[in-house]
Amino acid sequence: MNGEGSITSRIEAALAQINREDFIQNHQEGLIAGRSIPPEDTVRQILAICDIWPGAKVLHIGAGSGYLTAVLSVLSQHVTAIEKLPSLVTYARERLTELGLENTQVREGDGVQGASDSGPFDLILISTPKIAVHPALLEQLAPRGQLVCIEPGEASRHILVKYVNRGNHKAARTEHGFIDFVSSGDDILVELGFVTPDVLKEARSKAEANKSLIIDEIMKLQNLDDLKVYRSLAKQYGLPLSNADTLLRHVDPSIFASFSKAYLDHQHIIPLYVKGSSLVVACTSPNSRMDEIQQVFPGKTIELQLITPTDFRRVWSSIDRQLRGKDHPVATEKDIHSPGYDEDLLEKEPTTIDARLVALYEALLLDAVADRASDIHLELYRDRVRVRLRVDGELLDLSHYQVSPAEYRGLINVIKLRADLNIAERRLPQGGRAQVRVGGSRFDLRVQVQPSLHGEHVVIRLLAQNSSLISIDELGMPPQIASHYRRLLHNPAGLVLVVGPTGSGKTTTLNAGLQLLAQDSTRKVITVEDPIEYSIDDIQQTRVRPEIGFSFADAMRSFVRQDPDVILVGEIRDHETALEALRASQTGHIVLSTLHCNDAVDAVQRLFDLNVHPNSLASELLAVMAQRLAKRICPHCKTEAETDPEILAELFPTGVPDGFQCFAGTGCDHCGGTGTRGRLGVIEYLQLNGELRDAISRHTPVGELRSLALDSGLITMRDSALDHVINGLIPITELPRILPQERMAPEKRGQWQPS
């Protein structure tokens, strides 16, 4: 045996020889940092208690990507390594071979039974807490041999433990302090490729100044998807990633009430409920300390559940509301008034919220943001209140809100004050706006209050202000329509319309076109919108102000004197705006706008209803795109699906084409079990030709005009929808929802039908 100084110097030499970075693989390939690549200080802590010499024979269980195995091979004569994951086994073998470490053997297996054929071993090292010490492993130790492992300790921490073989099937056990087998959360983000060391340094500085979490600052700086980040962190730390909806089904508010709110908020932890011998605790940081939690529940094992900051605040708000119950003070107008973008709901001190209704309103907003909702619906029916979110176009009830009619009326007042509406007016509809910030995301809120039989109903639309804009390529348009759209934007003059009902993605389609135009420095683009939903660089954007007499038509009249090349009008609502849009196109501008109508041909009739002259419309209208949004199949659980015979009978009255197939999602963690995630545009495209212009100038009835449009190459919504179905993008069950019954079957020969 060597002296302590000699062992220490050999360990330092081995660590200097083996570069930890050589064992870190890009996270996209599935072999990533974490328990498979322990930090250098952790390796140093483990080896310091091992009696290892150049002639030692070592068994390493839980080899991971091979970093610790490589260090052991430098220090000993031979290392037998065992790893459960085949991908890591292959990776470790490749790395060890590249480094010329021929005294190692990497096997695939769980390691519980060891490797008796290669024993006895002078040292057995178990570098994963998931494997307990099995008697078979102790039997494979040489006399005076050591087994070093990691065992669960108090407060959800791990202890470094050593067993020494004393002979006669006996082993002496000693503990050597707590050990962290994973890098701290912020360091792991560098290894996962989410941030660079420079960004991490900046985030640490901001976190210290703002008294916030480093990971929160990183997500703000990098505009990262928090779910993606936390999913990777959960995998690295071996923790389950949960969500507010799941946890709130089991929460016990009395446990939360047992602790200081200041302590829980500082540590970003929430004790939730007891499950058998375990206490379930939610946390936003895998490295949260659980010492005080353990002191209050000394006989319980702490089971950590990792959640995102948004879900953390949702759970906190829900428990806080339950504890407050009926005993809450009345909020003053000062308490309630809109904080705007300067105040982040995720950073609010929950201990300072002393108005339950304000907390309820903010919890609703957090739920909506977390569920990717576009709208919040609040409705009062005699003796019950209904709360719903519109997610991917479908309304979903939120059952965990128990609001009495009296509380509901107070909540409406909170919403009105936030939106600068008159709280005394309950007889007339009102519309207003507010702003809110959740983490790094900013939202404009469009609030509409409508009187009804039992009280006022409210709809709040959430418009994300700093979300990434969608390009034309990402819209999901068929390639042919996308090509036509790009060409339209480069025309010298004319009117282009995008039509559909409210919430059909018209603004998103137009903004995708504006992004393309913004890249052309030779053209000037001006928009007038109500409101400005997305800010676009290099585009001059203006908002209408009806309250001071500045309407769409007023803006159009002033725009033509600004020497623009392209003008976007948010919506054509009246004769005056329609007239100014046509005049602008006649004077050499491309005009983009939207209309509320059902299909591309119906847009022509809608303009006739606004008293547009047929000849002017025929000469200036270039094309019309009508669209609906269909639910997109979750790519993570997509599988071939059986089709509904009734839907097939409507789609193909003369028989289903040979080889026709469709797909659906079975439901998974990525889509919350729904089988769908996000939405996709289903588009009808009408490009005018000479024959159609003649028909429009004659004010041809809409039925005849559609028949003529089909003959002229109208790409119908049915065609687009079926293309998405056979490409596995949308489920066939979406078609009856977006297509009227008379449009399900082919309207003309040549449409999607049996050959």
Per domain, the residue ranges of the chain are 7-179, 225-324, 372-464, 479-631+679-716
* Among 101-105, 289-293, 354-358, 516-520, the least confident range: 354-358
As a CATH number, domain 225-324 is: 3.30.300.160
Q: How confident is the model over 439-460, as pLDDT tens digits? A: 667 788 889 999 988 889 999 9
- Residue (of 327, 285, 275, 326) closest to 306 by Cα position: 285
Which superfamily does CATH assign the domain made up of 7-179 to? Vaccinia Virus protein VP39 (3.40.50.150)
| Cα(28)–Cα(629) distance, integer angstroms | 31
Q: How confident is the model over 89-121, as pLDDT tens digits? A: 888 898 899 899 989 999 998 888 889 898 899
Ramachandran category for residue 606: left, alpha or beta (phi over 0 → left; psi -120 to 50 → alpha): alpha
Q: What is the pLDDT of residue 345?
A: 61
Q: How confident is the model over 360-413, as pLDDT tens digits? A: 888 888 888 878 888 999 999 888 889 999 888 888 888 777 788 888 888 898
> What is the average pLDDT across 348-358?
52
Q: How confident is the model over 595-629, as pLDDT tens digits? A: 988 889 999 999 999 999 999 999 999 999 999 98
| Cα(462)–Cα(533) distance, integer angstroms | 10
DSSP string, 235-264: HHHT--B--HHHHTTT--HHHHTTS-HHHH
179-200 residues labelled b (16+ CB within 10 A) or e (exposed): bebbbebbebbbbbebbeeebb
Q: How confident is the model over 681-703, as pLDDT tens digits? A: 899 999 999 999 999 999 989 88
> What is the average pLDDT across 326-348?
52
* Among 33-42, 325-334, 552-561, 660-669, the least confident range: 325-334
What CATH architecture applies to the domain 372-464?
2-Layer Sandwich (3.30)
For tokens 């005394």, what's the residue?
Answer: 424
Question: Cβ–Cβ contacts within 10 Å for residue 171, how many?
Answer: 17
Contact 44, 8 (CB under 8 A): no
Q: What is the pLDDT of residue 26?
A: 44
Contact 302, 290 (CB under 8 A): yes
499-510 residues labelled b (16+ CB within 10 A) or e (exposed): bbeeebbbbbbb
CA distances from 232 to 239, 247, 522 (A): 10, 20, 44
DSSP string, 200-222: HHHHHHHHHHHT--HHHHHHHHH
Q: Do domains 225-324 and 479-631+679-716 have the same CATH topology?
A: no
Contact 151, 159 (CB under 8 A): yes
Q: What does the block give as tokens for 519?
A: 């890249």
Amino acid letter, 234: A
Band (327; pLDDT cuts 50, 70, 90) = very low
Q: How confident is the model over 626-666, as pLDDT tens digits? A: 999 888 898 888 998 888 888 888 888 888 888 888 899 98
Domain range 479-631+679-716, its CATH number among 3.40.50.300, 3.40.50.1820, 3.30.1370.110, 2.40.128.50 = 3.40.50.300
**Which H, E and C letters describe 322-365, residue by residue?**
HHHCCCCCCCCHHHHCCCHHHCECCCCCHHHCCCHHHHHHHHHH
Residue 547 DSSP class: G
Q: How confident is the model over 232-254, as pLDDT tens digits? A: 777 767 788 888 878 887 888 88
What sign does the CA torsion over 209, 211, 217, 218 have? Answer: positive
Contact 277, 301 (CB under 8 A): yes
Residues 6+ apart with CB under 8 A from 723: 478, 752
